Amino acid sequence: MTEPQTEYDAIVIGAGMSGLACAIRLGMFDKKVALIEKHSVPGGLNSYFQRVKKDKEGNRVGIRKFDVGLHALTNFAKKGEKNKPLLKILKQLRLRYDSLEIQEQSYSQVLFNEKVLKFTNDIEFLVAQVKEVFSEEGERFEKLVKFVEEFDDTSLEFEFTSTKNELKKQGFSNEFIECLLCPLLFYGSSWENDIDLQQFVILFKSIFMEGFARPYGGVRTLINPLVEKLKDNNVDVRFKTAVKKIIKENNKVSGVELEDGTVLKTNQVYSSVGLPETESLLMKEKSKVGNLTFVECLYVFEKKIDREVNDSTISFFNYADRFNYECPKTPTDFRSGVFCIPDNYEKVESEEGMIRITFIANYDHWNKFSEKEYLAEKEKVKEQGLKLIKKLCPQDNRELLYTDIFTPKTITKFTSHKGGTVYGSPLKKRDGLTETKDLYVIGTDQGYLGIVGSLLSGITMANIYGLKGGL
C-alpha cells in the first residue's frame, strides 16, 4: 500500500474560487500541490447544495439545485474580445469559453426610494439613465466614467482612500453617491458606508462597464470544469480535511498541521480563508474582522414569474432616507438589499421559478439566539421577503413550494469566516504578502472581488510567487 504524500511544493488552504484557480495554475507547471478543504464540496462562498423535491403528497419526485453566493457573474465578456479579465482567466486556466454557456442579463436596477436607475452591460445605457433620472449629474457622470477608465487599478500597494470623499470632490450630490454605490457596496465592500477608491474602480468596471451574466446551470457549470482541471494537473485534493495550524520555522513557512495531527511539509502556503482566519492558523490574531454579513432567502415557486410583472435580473433596493450599508443594531435590516430573479436570463434549467433576496445582518444577534429564537427570526426574515416579493412583483399569485434561508451562522459553519463575514477584513493585502515568509493571502482579503476577481487573485498570486511571472 502506497503511503500518502506528505511533502509538497505548495499547499493551498481553501477550495473557494481563488484556491481552485491557484492550485490549478501551480499544478500546470508540474508543482506538487495539495488543496485542503474542510467541507465536502468546492466553491467556498460561491458553492452549491441540493434538497429533495417532493410532491403535495410528500413523495420524492427529484431534487432541487441551489447556488450559494452567485447572483450573477460579473465582468461579462463576449467571445474573442481583447483584454477582458474573464477571457484572461479562461486562457490562464485553459478553459473553453463555450463550456460556461454564459448568458447576459436583461437589465438590473437600483431602486432608491422613488428613483429607478437601470443598467445593462452597455455603459452608454447607464450614462443615458443618469441623465434622465439625475439630470443635474449627467455631465459629471460622463467625466467619472473617463476617470474610471484612466485609473490604474492594478497596483498591488494598498492604502484606503474614501470613494465617498472623492465623489464629493467631483461635485456629486449625496443622494446620487449613495444610489451609485448601492450595488457596488453590496457586491464587494468590506467597509461600512464606503469603499476604497481602488476597489470602487474595480467594481465599477466589472459591474457597470463589463456587466452581469450567468452560466447556464449556475455556479456548478463553472466549478465542475475547475475540478476536472485539478485532476488533469495532478493536484492532491483533500476534501473534509481541516487545517489546524500553519507551521513556520525562523519566520518561514515549513508546513501545515491537519486536524487529525498529520503534518504536511511545504515550501509555500497560499491561504484563501481570510486574513484574520489565516492569522488564527498562525496562533495569533491581529487584523480586524469585518462587520458585513448577510442573510439570504431562497424562494421556489410553482412556475417562473411573468416577465410582464418584473423582467429585471437584479434589483438593488433602498427604502430608507439614506443608504445604511452597515452592521445593523437589529438582527436583520430589511430597508435595503438585493432582489434577484435568476429566471430572467434567456435560458434557465428549471420549470419552477426562483427568487433570491439578500439582507444585511448582525452576526452577534444571530449567534446569541437560542434555537427557538433562531427559528423565529428566520421565519420573520421569510415573511419580510414575501412582502418584498409582493411589492416588486405585484399581481404575482404563484404558489410557493419551498423556502430556504441561510444566516451569518451558516456562513461561519461552511466557510470558517469569523463573524460570518462575506467580504473579509477591511485590511487588504494587495501584494498577498504576510509577515511570514512564503505565506500568501489569496482571495477576498488579497483585494480582488467577486467570482472573476477571486479567480484572478488565485492565478495572479500563483504566477507572481509560485511561477515568478505576472498575469
Confidence of residue 471 (pLDDT cuts 50, 70, 90): very low
The pLDDT assigned to 330 comes to 97
The three grid cell numbers given for residue 404, joined into one nine-digit string: 430556504
- Beta-strand relationship, 263-271 and 252-258: antiparallel
Whether residue 145 has pLDDT greater than 70? yes
Confidence of residue 469 (pLDDT cuts 50, 70, 90): low
Whether residue 233 has pLDDT greater than 70? yes
The pLDDT assigned to 242 comes to 94
Whether residue 152 has pLDDT greater than 50? yes
Predicted confidence (pLDDT) per residue in 1-56, tens digit: 456 778 999 999 999 999 999 999 999 999 999 999 999 999 888 888 888 887 77
Whether residue 108 has pLDDT greater than 70? yes
String of b and e for 1-29 (b: at least 16 CB within 10 Å)?
Answer: eeeeeeebbbbbbbbbbbbbbbbbbbbbe
How far is 6 from 363, CA to CA, in rounded Å? 38
The three grid cell numbers given for residue 402, joined into one nine-digit string: 419551498
The stretch 68-89 carries a mean pLDDT of: 90
Percent of the chain's residues with pLDDT above 70: 99
Q: What is the mean pLDDT of the chain?
A: 92
The pLDDT assigned to 365 comes to 97
Percent of the chain's residues with pLDDT above 90: 77
Predicted confidence (pLDDT) per residue in 288-311, tens digit: 888 999 999 999 999 988 888 899
The stretch 352-359 carries a mean pLDDT of: 94
Q: At which residue does the C-alpha cell 431534487 appear?
A: 63
Whether residue 120 has pLDDT greater than 70? yes
The stretch 413-435 carries a mean pLDDT of: 90
How far is 301 from 388, CA to CA, in rounded Å? 15
The three grid cell numbers given for residue 408, joined into one nine-digit string: 451569518
CB 24, CB 235: distance < 8 Å = yes
How far is 363 from 71, CA to CA, in rounded Å? 22
* 234 vs 1, more confident: 234
Whether residue 470 has pLDDT greater than 90? no
DSSP code at position 2: P
DSSP code at position 73: B
- Of the candidates 146, 188, 228, 144, which has an alpha carbon nearest to the alpha carbon of residue 457? 188
Check: pTM over 0.75? Answer yes or no. Answer: yes
The pLDDT assigned to 414 comes to 84
Domains annotated on the chain, with CATH: 7-45+219-289+423-466 (3.50.50.60), 106-211 (1.10.405), 291-422 (no CATH)
Contacts of 143 (CB under 8 A, 6+ apart): 170
